[in-house]
Structure 1
Amino acid sequence: MLKKSFTLAVLALGAFALSAGSVLAQTGTIEGTVLDGTTSETLPGVNVVIQDLDRGAATDVDGRFEISDVPVGSYTLLASFVGYQEETVAVEVNSGEATQVQIELAPSQVQLEDVVVTALGVEREEESLGYSIQEVEGGDLEQAGEQNFISSLAGRVSGAEVKSSNVMGGSSRITIRGPGSLSGDNQPLIVVDGIPLDNSNFNSLGQNTGGGGYDYGNAASMLNPSDIESVSILKGASAAALYGTRAADGVVQITTKSGSDRGGIGVSVQTGVSASQLYGFPDYQNKYGGGSSPNF
């Protein structure tokens, strides 16, 4: 009887050992590498988690990770890292095998607050300013295709009135929030990379009053719209306080392109053609004239 009980105990112990071995054999390992999707460089410190089991590991200095004793089955890995978008990968774990995985993370695009250039040329967040300011990107001015960048501001700046000449190379003038003086020029001060620019035209008194002559343009026509990175319109006396009385009608702050973001030598070519045709010629009498001075 004792011998029979001993035999049963041995058999039970063997069955338990076989059962335990069978359970241990139903697990596998997940191994892999996490790379930067742009540069293909390995990323250390990335958290890799099995979503279904809430188990995971972090990548080492070589960007590798290992999760052991994973039950057999299908799972989803979630890889996350600061500055990168989260990535999920489906894996299949087989008994006694190591499943190899390669995960590529794409850099995340962080939406920053709007940054504008103030009167001192310092970049600040638009919401932190205590005065009205509006910014126009240089690409919008270039797309307009105007010879004078002032003409390109028409319809893009609230409260601004733009008047342009209809002759080639003619002057363009801008007023912000209406005229502020009966005798002054009423144009805002133009500042290019911190240097004030007088936008008064070069026309004679007769030309300005419609007495004849040619419109030779003004200083704003000397600026190439393709060289402008951004234009900030500073409105109000507080915005233009640093420029004195010349900026009583506002400031047009221009920041030109620096070329620091371009690698190597870059060349851009733009061409344009404009043509004009008179609608009709009026009939003139050229036989008699009034002469000049009181003597006829």
Structure 2
Amino acid sequence: MKRISLETLIHSRQNLSYQEQYEYVCKLLQEEKIKPVKASRTNGKKPALYREYWILEEQKDYSVYIEELKYTLSTKISVDYYLAHPDIYEKERTWVVLLDEYLKNDSDRIKIPKSLNERSFEIWNREKFLDREQGKKILKHCGINVESLNVYRTTEPLPYYTHTRNVPQNLLILENKDPFFSMRNHLLSGHTEIFNIETGTLIYGAGKGIIRSFQDFDLCAEPYMKHPGNTILYFGDLDYEGIGIYENLAEKFKDQWKIIPFIPAYKAMLRKAESVKILPKTKESQNRNISSEFFAYFDEQTVCKMKKILEEDRYIPQEILNTTDF
């Protein structure tokens, strides 16, 4: 509602008599176009008028939309929100109708998994509608879960090097870029083993990025990589963050894959670190919340060495190892 003074209200009729102005205001009151602001008090004249008024917005007729919501839309769309907010339905109707048509005429397409942007374009002819525009809000108002549209989210492609597609095989995930390239060169030079472990594929994890990119492993990896007999190994920095990345990865995907530490590489790091006078200091910003899952794969003596380094706020980077060590 908009507040207006009596003077402004009758400004267009200032040349009329006060009685005529009074009758004009009374007519607006009867038509419920205005109502008095009683706290403004009257103007002291006879007959009296209040000094200020609320201008009332005209109630819009949404009956056509109400009928449409009740009897026309797909039963897969919940209309409760829009029945309570027909003004919002009027604004969003274009997008709701497109969704309705898709659910009625093309529902078989939902059986085939598609990326978020692909499904968005399929329904609304806008590839970013679900991800960056109004799509999520429209679905929420329609009582539809994004997952029910059978979509998957795409990430940066998982960088990997295939040395052999023979199965079963060992796939090795590496936290950092340098070890990935060095081990790849090692395999390219004619070797098939890394620390006496036959290795068929190297995967570059890009630090914490592996958590997100690995979500698409079942969808995007080559068939040989998903062979049930394969073993997935992980090798990262020996610090809180590197251990944390492994534990998060192993926990998140434990129902699909068992991911285990690349034990010989970690032991090689420890052996080589014995000749290093001062190991680099751990960054204070590192998340030190790790469990015992990582350490459970190692013998007690190795665990003691690892924990001692961590407790001294030191760490061993993967780069301590190079091609001559593999």
Assess same fold via TM > 0.5: no
TM-score (norm 1): 0.25
User: Which has more radius of gyration?
Assistant: 1
Normalised to the residue count of structure 2, the TM-score between the two structures is 0.23
Higher strand share: 1
Q: Which has the higher helix share?
A: 2
